[in-house]
Amino acid sequence: MTWQQRLHNHGMINTAEAAWHKILTIAGEPRRQEESPLAAPFAELVLVAHAEPLLRQLYPWTGMWELHFSRCTEIRHTWDVTYIGTLGEGRYYVEGPSRNSPRIAETDSAQAAVAMVIDRLPPHCGPAFIGNAEALAAYERARDGR
C-alpha cells in the first residue's frame, strides 16, 4: 500500500492542523524503491507548503500526487484555491482552482509553485471553516447579510 493510500484510508481528519500533521507524517516516511518517482518531490512540496502560514491555516488534501487546499475541513471541500501537482524530474504544475481551469504554470521549484498559490488566494482566505463547503457558504451568506 502506498503512503497516499494509507493517508486516504486513515479516515476523516476534521481540523487543518490534524490533516497537515497526517500528510507530513506520511510524506516523511521512508520510501521503497518500487514506489513512484513522484514521492520524493511530493514530500518536498508538502514541506514547503506547510512552511507557509497562509497555506498552513487551510485544510490540505491529496490525490494523484496533487496537493489541494480547502477553506473548509469536511467533504465536500471548496474548489476556490489553486492547487499544485507533481510532475516527473522534480517539476510541479499549478492549476485551478477547478478541474476545468487551464494550467497556470509549470516550474522546477516547489517554492515557486507555492508562491503562485499564495498569490492567487481568495480574499479573506482562512482559517479553515469546521464543516463542509455548503455549511461554509451558508455561514458566509449569513455573515455578509445576503
**How is residue 138 written as a grid cell?**
451558508
Binned at pLDDT 50, 70 and 90, residue 45 comes out as very high
Binned at pLDDT 50, 70 and 90, residue 33 comes out as low
Which pLDDT score is estimated for 19? 95
Residue 1 has pLDDT above 50, yes or no: no
Count of Cβ atoms closer than 10 Å to residue 84 Cβ: 27
Beta pairing partners, 106: 93
Binned at pLDDT 50, 70 and 90, residue 27 comes out as confident
Which pLDDT score is estimated for 9? 46
From residue 15, alpha-carbon distances to 42, 82, 98 in Å are: 22, 20, 23
